[in-house]
A and B are shown apart, each in its own frame.
Chain A
Amino acid sequence: MAIDYNKLTPVEAYERRRSIWAWIVIALVLVLLLYYFVGRSEYVIAYDDPEEHFKYGSIGSEGVTGLPTPILQALPVMYKDKLGGAGWAALGLNTEPGQPLPIGFSRRVVTGVERAWLNCSVCHMGTYTLPGDDELHYIAGGASNDLLLYDLITFFIEVGKDPGFTADRLIAAINSDEVPGHLNFLERLLYRTVVFRQVQAGLQALADDLTFVLRQEPFGPGRVDTFNSYKVLQFNFPMGPEFISDVALNGSSDYPSIWMQAPRAGMNLHWDGNNSSVRERNLSAALGAGVSPVSVDHDALARVRDWIDTLPAPKFPGDIDANLAAQGKPLYDEYCAACHGTGTDDSYDYNTTRHPYLGQVVDLQDIGTDPGRWSSYTQGFAAAQNSLYAGYPWQFKKFKKTSGYANHPLDGIWARSPYLHNGSVPTLRDLMNKTSDRPTEWYRGSRELDLNRVGYRSDEVGGGKFFYDTNVLGNHNTGHEGPEYGTDLPPADKDAIVEYMKTL
């Protein structure tokens, strides 16, 4: 038997046992502190200014769906073959100078890692340029006509499926000169072992969930298929062809503007008027941005709500022929105001007593516009939505299947092109015409305003890159026509109405 020459005295042995306990206690305390401060606590990158908060403030989507900021910065560098040299701009995401990520991305530190994901402004930030001028104007709270959400989704799906998306390539991209930030040895280890796997698994899961997207017609810039992804991601609705018709599968609609929400309270909101509660509509839209009922940041959302309640509609940036507009007002009031409200000298009249059809749903066969969006919102889906936020006082209860599409105020209508719910008519002047006179094929995605016909340019030269074929499912430009809609008026009257609408 070997002799232990380094035997401990009884006192030393006792002290050693005691110090082991002390170390265990210290370790436990450290683990608890780590759990609380890193694991559970979240640290938001916050902004005082309400508009900055709208653009970059977090509503709580990062922990659920978000990616670490360096990864979002590295992906465009890694996938130059898909996105070209412009990075996220190729997908319609606009980056202000000096910002780490485009508008619409917010950042939050969750479990010790700074992640970024979407907020309201990714879809609700409008842009325009004036003819002959490159300067880009932003309209916060507007409707994005740039965002290629379909392409963004398919991009993430492809990344998730790409065998070339490896931890090594990712880390090399992050540490390259083109991406700000640098991963030190510990961070690289963390990325290789934990972060990358989670990201890849998340993207692959997204790819699996959203394979149906590849069966859809591309949305085009500034449009979104609002509810089909929602059905899958929140409720795991099956999306095989035996469960959903092609019509319902293709219900892409324009993003709406969200200014002046306070006067809209009580109106039937969403294109099909499926909910009259602004609060429910906001929380539902937040789910669309990627929050979960648990992660949604109510305070942040409340700040946005307060801001958009009274956010004024933007003023038309061109010249208005005051005489022509004055001629157009009585015509507008006669043909349009009952459903859409009207302008006042200094603002807008949202009064639903004076304008009885404002905020009401019009039956599908009466309005005659594309049925895709209406089809995609089903009774079953509304019922499922009313189970969301269960357990909270704000559990949804007002979602409903309607019979058609709702009438909305036209404040700032000049900035909400293209027109009809599915953005199938490029300008207000075109909308005044019967379907047969409206453009059947045009180009979507331009930021340049046509200040005469009111709407983005849609010609082949300067109209944007997306070929908009109105014969494709979901793109029909029918509806909103007939004597009551003013499409039979003489052209001069139509011009006057359009000129008046520039003042709204």
Chain B
Amino acid sequence: MLDQSPSPDKSHIHEDNAALIFDPLKFRNLEAKNRIFRSNLSGMFDDYNGQGGNARINWETKFAKGGAGGIISSYTPVMNKGRILTRYAMMDHDDKIPFWRKIGEAAHEHDCRFFMQLSHSGRQQDLGGVENVFRTVASSTDKKDWFHGILCHAATKPEIKEIVDAFAQAARRAREAGLDGIELHGANGYLITQFLSSGINDRDDEYGGNWEARSRFVLEIIRAIRAEVGYDFHLQMKINAVDHNSWLYPWQPPGNTLDETLKIVRLLMDDGKGVDGFHVSAGSTFPHPMNPPGDLPMRDLVRWYDGMISQGVRAGMNYRIFKNPIGAFLFRRYWLWRRGKKVEGINEDYSAAIRKVVQQIDPTVTVMVTGGWQHADRIAGAIRSGAADAVSIGRPLIANNNLPEILKTSNGPAPGKECTYCNKCLINDLENPLGCYELSRFEGDSFEEKYDEMIKEVMSVYYPPTFT
């Protein structure tokens, strides 16, 4: 079992904690009913061409019903060339607007806000799909991603312009679809990180160099979005507090430090014309030992990583390492060592530093943080100390869709029902419907009984079916 956060805070009673958590959050342009946001995740529920369907609506509804104050969508590619995994809905054309409108409506039925996360994979294109198989993807650099060996080319100026424009158009579509706001995926090693990070961006034009030059790309996106949707539409930035780019290969450059991030944060606020909020994360790859923090299930990895073998030039080697008993053991130990002991609230201190800077400049800008949140005392502690305005939760909400309801009356889910941060959901997502795959959490007296329960829960995303 994972070494989780310290024992519940003894100096506050649960009621106090709940009060903080369920205090509505005021953004510049909207309000959410509590401080719990469903973080960016979804499964391969959608059509290959990026259209959405019934399953996705069911998925988002789970969390809206469960009581979250807001949902931030999983990454939504602004263009097909920037997709991350196949069978995820996109916002690349106006023809996607009707689907997303339905999503927004489903969330609003439960007084849940819905932000769309606009994304471009850059070189972290894990499953490019058949449309992209003869292309290399645009990145800041020509250097392939060092984790899976996914090949890329440095974006030309026209390409950059095309991508900036795609972000702006996707933002427009999100507004037209009636969604509550957008989030720029500027974290976790995707295209914007590839420009922002000193560990990845090796350009020698105006988009590369010092922190300000590296920020040019995302600043252009923000300004283009503002030009398109104005200043009354919520726009937040998911950002790496620290890159930790050397986690796998120590000879890779370490990437951005917290100091650089603070400078970037100030820049992106753009004298009040920039972002309305920040979403703090860490790690210049996805996944990363710090994100999502937890275990690495090696057997699941061997079962579901194989689809990536044809995607990157190092994926085959990775697979053989995962498959080898000694390689798997060593890799997992290395992963855990790089993660460190803390899981719940792993980014709390980073968020505190960022929020301090943000509050000094403009207190209307919100800061939410992600990273293992599950327990009321920890969440309330972060809000109370000023580390964050809200938390975003992923895996614990998959484990218990109604976690917000649970946290109203208890510190956390019942023993045996908690999210264990095993990350089996993450790894299964590569090839299977997203859900909780931690067998021990399910009811049953035998392996088969538990397994059936687990499958039932996972497949519940397809109910009700499209046609009855």
Give A contacts to B, CB under 8 Å. 1, 3-7, 9, 12
**With the chains together, A9 CA to B300 CA distance in Å?**
11
Any A CB within 8 A of the CB of B299: yes
Any A CB within 8 A of the CB of B303: yes
Task: Say whether B303 contacts A5, CB under 8 Å.
Answer: no
Any A CB within 8 A of the CB of B409: no
B295-308 CB contact bits vs A (8 Å, 1 = yes)?
Answer: 00001000100000
A5: chain B residues at CB < 8 Å are: 439-440, 447
Question: Which of B299, B303, B447 touches A3 (beta carbons < 8 Å)?
Answer: B447
**With the chains together, A5 CA to B440 CA distance in Å?**
7
Task: Say whether B447 contacts A7, CB under 8 Å.
Answer: yes
Any A CB within 8 A of the CB of B11: no
**With the chains together, A9 CA to B303 CA distance in Å?**
10
**Distance in Å: Cβ of A135 to nearest Cβ of chain B:** 64
**With the chains together, A186 CA to B439 CA distance in Å?**
46
B430-461 CB contact bits vs A (8 Å, 1 = yes)?
Answer: 00000000011000001100100000000000
Question: Which of A3, A6, A9 touches B450 (beta carbons < 8 Å)?
Answer: A3
B178-203 CB contact bits vs A (8 Å, 1 = yes)?
Answer: 00000000000000000000000000
Nearest CB to that of B446 among chain A residues?
A3
A7: chain B residues at CB < 8 Å are: 447
Interface centre among B439, B440, B446, B450 (most CB of A within 10 A): B439
Q: How many A-B residue pairs have CB under 8 A?
A: 14
Q: From DSSP, what is the main secondary structure of chain B's interface residues?
A: helix
Instruction: Name 14 interchain pairs, CB-CB below 8 A, sorted by A.
Output: A1-B446, A3-B439, A3-B440, A3-B446, A3-B447, A3-B450, A4-B447, A5-B439, A5-B440, A5-B447, A6-B299, A7-B447, A9-B303, A12-B299
A3: chain B residues at CB < 8 Å are: 439-440, 446-447, 450
**Distance in Å: Cβ of B352 to nearest Cβ of chain A:** 37
Nearest CB to that of B303 among chain A residues?
A9
**Distance in Å: Cβ of A232 to nearest Cβ of chain B:** 55
**Distance in Å: Cβ of A197 to nearest Cβ of chain B:** 34
**With the chains together, A7 CA to B446 CA distance in Å?**
12
Given contacts A3-B450, A5-B439, A7-B447, 11 further A-B contacts (CB under 8 A): A1-B446, A3-B439, A3-B440, A3-B446, A3-B447, A4-B447, A5-B440, A5-B447, A6-B299, A9-B303, A12-B299
**With the chains together, A194 CA to B440 CA distance in Å?**
51
**With the chains together, A259 CA to B185 CA distance in Å?**
95
**With the chains together, A4 CA to B450 CA distance in Å?**
11
B303: chain A residues at CB < 8 Å are: 9
**With the chains together, A9 CA to B447 CA distance in Å?**
13
Q: B280-338: which have CB < 8 Å to A?
A: 299, 303
A1: chain B residues at CB < 8 Å are: 446
Closest 7 CB pairs of A and B: A3-B447, A5-B439, A5-B440, A7-B447, A6-B299, A4-B447, A3-B446
**With the chains together, A200 CA to B324 CA distance in Å?**
45
Nearest CB to that of A7 among chain B residues?
B447
**With the chains together, A140 CA to B439 CA distance in Å?**
84
**With the chains together, A5 CA to B439 CA distance in Å?**
7
**Distance in Å: Cβ of A23 to nearest Cβ of chain B:** 11
B299: chain A residues at CB < 8 Å are: 6, 12
A9: chain B residues at CB < 8 Å are: 303
**Distance in Å: Cβ of A4 to nearest Cβ of chain B:** 7
B439: chain A residues at CB < 8 Å are: 3, 5
**With the chains together, A30 CA to B337 CA distance in Å?**
36
Interface centre among A1, A3, A7, A12 (most CB of B within 10 A): A3
**Distance in Å: Cβ of B64 to nearest Cβ of chain A:** 32
A12: chain B residues at CB < 8 Å are: 299
A4: chain B residues at CB < 8 Å are: 447
Nearest CB to that of B323 among chain A residues?
A15
**Distance in Å: Cβ of A293 to nearest Cβ of chain B:** 49
**With the chains together, A3 CA to B440 CA distance in Å?**
9
**With the chains together, A38 CA to B446 CA distance in Å?**
53
**With the chains together, A1 CA to B440 CA distance in Å?**
14
Nearest CB to that of B297 among chain A residues?
A6
**With the chains together, A7 CA to B300 CA distance in Å?**
11
